[in-house]
Chain A
């Protein structure tokens, strides 16, 4: 599904490059459930952002579904990830001014999907996640676990092939965390490729495959 070749990322601090990622080579196939682990500052999140096309690599090639992402223009890139990638964040990042329903609906609006179709899709996912009763509430009226559920629903609404999750359970208690991880496992079974960044060995265990990062390099 995607392949990173010699990906490096650095910032210039005081004229000297400081590496965040160094020569990463990575191949992830359709249907995998990959966990990226590593201590703070090892570059996990940056790697995830580069995969999610939110950030550019300083060097290297990135192919996503047979397209050379590093050569694409911003518009094409946005088109690409809009269709194929969903994000889940540690801090949920829901839009506070929108209701649960509207938060989930927003990505569809950006993909110019018709109103009637949107309604059906949102209703479907609300049902699937059993949050129909919450659809008119605002994010601040929900618990952390519920908010993350909405976050995931929003990430999945456009039926992406790839789900990127940055510490999805980081702000949740263990019971809520478990529920989310079970959900991920179920999604993976249904065919969604998942890449998650996590601190927790236990959560990493849900995945099919673990990548350990240390100081910007992949530990083999």
Chain B
């Protein structure tokens, strides 16, 4: 019997090719989206799972209160590590300090690469469970040994055996390669760490690090822990919460607590508010999961709609089958097996589509996903979900079609009742509600990005690039380097600073001024700059003056930005004195606020101080008339001359700035991708429906034409219903979309408004698309010769 069903299904499929194509195409597009989203969600949920101690690992975070705001961050002070290791050893199996993931020049012979890596304590590789291809995880016990990722080892040594080779870091320190580990997969937090170096070496390399060994106030490092199997994280958290405060009592108004952020929460639950996890990327998992569900729902709705619309064609078959002995159950089974067959075919098409679109989707989503060909669970899920889809999509037509009374069909009195199209109409409304919401959402996301992009940044991005000061060679050559660069004729200016233009790397406390609230501990961004910094980036001094070589006293001078002025509350700041760690600095000018950090947030109160020793970034401004490529070619030899141990690695400021929008742009692109697909599927649906309506009303159209209706009249007649449905969908979608997008925007301090035209444009768009889709069928029906359609009756 089942074979018979399949045979019928297959022949029906071939017989009505257009209908099958619409159905399979719609369903497979829907499934493609679901599989892509499924892969994406799988990738997100398995983040960091490659570490075999996934459940036990955690990072120690610190919650501090500054300027009235509670912030949670990962920068900790060195003595915390020992405290946890010694006093709470029962709760922690292993503890490892680490540096940030930082860029280093790794050199072997003539080969030099700028790579990121971390300086960690010897047990860290074991905590991570690194898969060693050579050497051992405990290699870092020797402070002159480093371990490298397989890819770095390959680029350094090619086919040579990397073990015990000597490499040079930052043209300064020599290490022996003591191990090679398999690259960590892309979905790990530490994926960028291409090497691990011994903490002890790093610790001894710079006096300021060494000096911090007992300093509870210097938060410049990270701390990772491996919990004891029997330790309860919440209990441990309560226990260690106040550890820093036991040592910080002395400094007034300082409030600091520690907590363990478990590895399983690193990726998806990384947003803190008041020291508690409030979410993070998990919201995108939910968002995309929901979108995937809805896109599939749209496709299923098409399936149901087209299926029931065809009911009159299938009615005869139902009638005959009932008269020759079929019971309803068998008919339901028949129609369901038909829809499951279609769903399976769609799935095959979908897998092909997924395979074809994955490279592009990976780029869009910034992932490295592939179809899990070898994962039986993946296939099991897919098949289960396909069959479920088939059953879901086929359920309504199956129950509807099988309910026909054979007698009516046989007698020829069968006519779908006036109300039989109501469920179909509701489904169309649902489809368009979802589509319109996605259109509105997409527009709002892009508006918000555009709004933030148009925000005045307070300096000139054009023609700027930055180079890090990464080897000791380049220190102390400021003037000669600058004059050589200027001599090339392509460089307009050059300066150095402690943070790049697109970030503020240092925040400090310890400020005092006349009239300051004695209980407040204001936190200010602190940036050291050279005399030429302002001129290089083109900042605007709105009061007072810039740093100048003419004033020898400028080494004890400060520039404040507008936000800092507001924070201090000083009325006429120019000429006033601000004490910083007890040292008196004179404010000489006010800089117009510059967007150095998030373009969505208010500018952070920041001060600029003149300091030629505390610098890590060189910023170069190219002459506006010179092309960038020519300028770089001219500049490179100069850098090579003064920094021979380093490859010439530069970053364009405008590209660095654009990266601040990456995450939002990704959401925007994904949302628009889904919106386009949703609309496409919905259009397929109404296209199919319109064709059936036109077919059903062939006779009516013929009669009307004989009576003198114009093509326009007929077009109107057929389009009217659909436009009404889309309008209803719009009325439902608008408040829902408003609510969603209002909530989304709330997270951004600096945000666009939801203006009415966004909704108007979405509505107009949906209506236009509908008209275009329906018109094809309507006009075709209207152009038919009435004699032909009437004769066939």
Contacts and interface: CB of A to CB of B under 8 A. Distances in A.
Contacts of A55: 407
A45 B411 contact: yes
Nearest to A155: B324
Contacts of B7: 98, 102
A105 B321 CA distance: 12
A107 B324 contact: yes
Q: Which of B1, B7, B322, B323 has the most CB of A within 10 A?
A: B323
B11 A97 contact: yes
Q: Which of B8, B319, B406, B410 has the most CB of A within 10 A?
A: B410
Nearest to A154: B324
Interface in A82-99: 82, 87, 89, 93-98
Nearest to B12: A97
Nearest to A75: B327
A111 B12 contact: no
Given A97-B317, A102-B7, A110 B325 contact: yes
Nearest to B327: A78
B411 A110 contact: no
A49 interface: yes
Interface in A126-151: none
Contact of B324 (A49, A75, A97, A110): A110
Interface in B1-50: 1, 4, 7-8, 11-12, 15
Interface string B403-440: 00011001100000000000000000000000000000
Given A54-B410, A93-B316, A95-B320, A110 B15 contact: no
B4 A109 contact: yes
A164 to B, nearest CB: 10
A109 B327 CA distance: 12
B740 to A, nearest CB: 46
A106 interface: yes
A11 B481 CA distance: 104
B320 A94 contact: yes
B11 A106 contact: no
Nearest to A108: B325
B164 interface: no
A93 B325 contact: no
Nearest to B316: A93
A56 B170 CA distance: 95
Interface residues of A, number: 28
A10 interface: no
Nearest to B411: A45
Contact of B325 (A78, A89, A95): A78
Contacts of A96: 317
B155 interface: no
Contact of B321 (A49, A95, A111): A95
A55 B407 CA distance: 7
A81 interface: yes
A94 B317 CA distance: 8
B15 A97 contact: yes
B326 interface: yes
Interface string B307-330: 000000000110111111111001
Contact of A110 (B316, B330, B407, B410): B330
Given A87-B324, A106-B321, A109-B1, A49 B407 contact: yes
A205 B11 CA distance: 42
A7 to B, nearest CB: 16
Nearest to B319: A93
A89 B327 contact: no
Interface residues of B, number: 23
A87 B410 CA distance: 11
Contacts of A75: 327
A78 B331 CA distance: 14
Nearest to A98: B8
B298 to A, nearest CB: 29
Contacts of B321: 95, 106, 110
Contacts of B324: 87, 106-107, 110, 154-155
A158 B324 CA distance: 10
Contact of B323 (A45, A54, A97, A112): A54
Contact of B410 (A93, A98, A102, A105): A93
Interface string A174-194: 000000000000000000000
A109 B7 CA distance: 13
Q: Which of A45, A102, A106, A155 has the most CB of B within 10 A?
A: A106
A87 to B, nearest CB: 5
B548 to A, nearest CB: 91
Contacts of B323: 52, 54, 87, 93
A107 B325 contact: yes
Contacts of B326: 110
A154 B4 CA distance: 16
A28 to B, nearest CB: 20
Q: Which of B316, B319, B325 has the most CB of A within 10 A?
A: B325
Nearest to B4: A109
A97 B8 contact: yes
A49 B327 CA distance: 17
Interface in A33-85: 45, 49, 52, 54-55, 75, 78, 81-82
A45 B412 CA distance: 12
B334 to A, nearest CB: 11
Q: Which of A45, A98, A110, A112 has the most CB of B within 10 A?
A: A110
Q: Which of A107, A155, A158 has the most CB of B within 10 A?
A: A107
B535 to A, nearest CB: 82
Nearest to A109: B1
A213 B325 CA distance: 28
Contacts of A54: 322-323, 406-407, 410
A17 B302 CA distance: 41
Contacts of B15: 97
Contact of B317 (A49, A95, A112): A95
A98 B15 CA distance: 12
A97 B317 CA distance: 9
Contacts of B12: 97
Given A75-B327, A78-B325, A81-B325, A93 B320 contact: yes
B415 to A, nearest CB: 16
Nearest to A50: B407
A55 B409 CA distance: 12
A23 B317 CA distance: 33
B411 A102 contact: no
Contacts of A52: 323
A45 B413 CA distance: 13
A82 B407 contact: no
Contacts of B317: 95-97
A96 B324 CA distance: 15
A185 B586 CA distance: 122
B302 to A, nearest CB: 22
A66 B427 CA distance: 49
Q: Which of A82, A93, A155 has the most CB of B within 10 A?
A: A93
A89 B322 CA distance: 14
Contacts of A93: 316, 319-320, 323, 410
A112 B317 CA distance: 20
Contacts of A45: 411
A78 B326 CA distance: 8
A1 B451 CA distance: 86
Closest 8 CB pairs of A and B: A82-B325, A110-B325, A97-B11, A107-B324, A93-B320, A54-B407, A55-B407, A109-B1
28 contacts: A45-B411, A54-B406, A55-B407, A75-B327, A82-B325, A87-B323, A93-B316, A93-B319, A93-B320, A94-B320, A95-B317, A95-B320, A96-B317, A97-B8, A97-B11, A98-B8, A102-B4, A105-B4, A106-B321, A107-B324, A107-B325, A109-B1, A109-B4, A110-B325, A110-B330, A111-B325, A154-B324, A155-B324
Given A45-B411, A52-B323, A93-B319, 20 more contacts: A49-B407, A54-B322, A55-B407, A75-B327, A78-B325, A81-B325, A82-B325, A87-B324, A93-B316, A93-B320, A93-B323, A95-B320, A97-B8, A98-B8, A98-B11, A102-B7, A106-B321, A110-B324, A110-B327, A112-B1
